[in-house]
A and B are shown apart, each in its own frame.
Chain A
């Protein structure tokens, strides 16, 4: 790639409903009262980076409901994951979950989500701004991090990339959405581990909590998701002495309506927490709109850790480049899209591409040096 990228950057034409820069989070500063923040759907975020062959913590953009309109001032490799957000480059639809080469002066935009809430735009390149407390993640409530003093993306923002732009994504990966990502369902079952304060509730109330269907309320954001449904009553106290709250802990305030603590939660809080959601089920929430029905399923800690480890292993396999099938998409000079799928590489020295786009046949021979 010998593109003339003098000032590699993107310009925000329209920020969408709520788009922020995130990475996996700010983990080492919680003891100073700083929330972790970070991508709400860590699964989609991590997979996107793996598909691009990045460090899994390479920062990207988290969109909400309707994504931004972004002009590329330099040619960049990107990958869009998460919610089905119908991304387009210059009005031509592009595929999600695959590396896409976006040429300079092209515009990335999004349609209406047909499933889910949050998409992730990951880049092969890395943003060229200072991290705040070791992380790129934005917390808009506290104005911490991100590209612009803790603010979300705004119209006319320009976000620079590092100068180096010669990195290519891997030619191939093992990503399989059925195997690696959330399955679309009408009602999600979230696996939970009881505690730390399940002893604040009697067995009838724990039974009620486990058997009820809850609906995600409109008062839900990156700090926490409020649920509406059967009220859970405390045995006596509905307050605890303030203490740290884990990601996915479900606190029960005085009114008995559960609140699930998410990435922007305060580091400490004073409500009892009946249970905590299995880390790998948090992305189901990240992709849930208000009104989404959810249920809880109790599992034991040993099972939760087994599931956690199995999931980690499955993700690792995405980058296990045994297979030679290719699934990449290139925006050509005419800003039209060619899609190449299942290309066979001949001993990794050269490969031939045969593809069809709008009834026109393309053939390309690529030599690997």
Chain B
């Protein structure tokens, strides 16, 4: 069953942007259409295109109003969606492994999660690191991946009192979501671990490590020593992220 709209829903977002929705729920199939369509338009690279921000179920397209009439823009998007290759055969995705040290000083909310879920620390780690999570979108803060697919068993509410600063690299969960904080920001998610890997680095091209449509897998680290070793290698630019191409 196709969960996506049969044609894009195009809505005005001022005089220089349009919202293009391809569905109305969070679903991997809709999200796949979003990234396929966004990539398709980017490849065409029309003269009026400024930037596309893909998200869960649609995208915001910034355009140059000096270069195109709104009606023509709308017709272009409808036509391109109709004619583009929407086949999902032979598509692959990049699986990125994120080494993570769970609990201890890097996972100050692990106890909360254990108490709420009635699971052991080992079970929490096993469940969290067993799933391949889809990166639905990048947003909220630079390089922050919106991940989907957290096990219901780990469902834990947000903190009553959000932290004013979450350390960069923190791995956190909230209800059915999980994520990694690339830079220190305020937040109310339960922090269960930390990765030494830099998800966002303005000096790097591109500055992000993961892209929408990629999959993320967490790999538990044994101890602080392992964490420090990777951290050192990253500093010396000797660390390479483990990535695999996987079939969808």
Contact = CB atoms under 8 A, between A and B. Distances in A.
A268 B56 CA distance: 10
Interface stretch (B92-100, B105-113, B123-131, B142-150): B142-150
A34 B14 contact: no
Given A32-B200, A243-B57, A309-B65, A195 B13 contact: yes
Contact of B142 (A32, A196, A305): A32
A296 B168 CA distance: 40
Chain B: interface size category? 35 or more
Given A195-B11, A241-B26, A268 B207 contact: no
Given A30-B51, A32-B200, A242 B137 contact: yes
Interface stretch (B15-23, B189-197, B227-235): B15-23
B171 interface: no
B147 to A, nearest CB: 13
Contact of B50 (A27, A241, A309): A27
A266 B146 CA distance: 14
Interface of B is mostly: loop
A30 B16 CA distance: 15
Nearest to A149: B202
B62 A142 contact: no
Given A268-B53, A305-B15, A246 B143 contact: no
Contacts, number: 137
A210 interface: no
Contacts of B62: 27, 30, 246
Interface string B137-165: 11111111010000000000000000000
B144 to A, nearest CB: 5
Contact of B14 (A27, A32, A142, A249): A249
A248 interface: yes
Interface in B1-41: 11-19, 24-26
A277 B12 CA distance: 11
A30 B15 contact: no
B58 interface: yes
Interface of A is mostly: mixed
B178 interface: no
A132 interface: yes
Contacts of B50: 27
A151 B201 CA distance: 17
Interface in A77-113: none
B70 A246 contact: no
5 smallest beta-carbon distances between A and B, as pairs:
A244-B60, A268-B139, A276-B14, A244-B53, A196-B11
Given A30-B62, A133-B207, A279-B15, 15 more contacts: A29-B207, A30-B51, A31-B54, A32-B143, A132-B202, A194-B12, A196-B19, A243-B53, A244-B17, A244-B59, A248-B14, A266-B140, A278-B15, A302-B70, A305-B69
Interface of A: 27-34, 132-133, 142, 144, 193-197, 241-249, 266-268, 273, 276-279, 301-302, 304-305, 307-309, 312
21 contacts: A32-B143, A32-B200, A33-B140, A133-B202, A142-B141, A144-B202, A194-B12, A196-B13, A241-B25, A242-B56, A243-B19, A243-B60, A244-B19, A244-B53, A245-B60, A246-B16, A268-B137, A273-B13, A304-B15, A305-B70, A308-B65
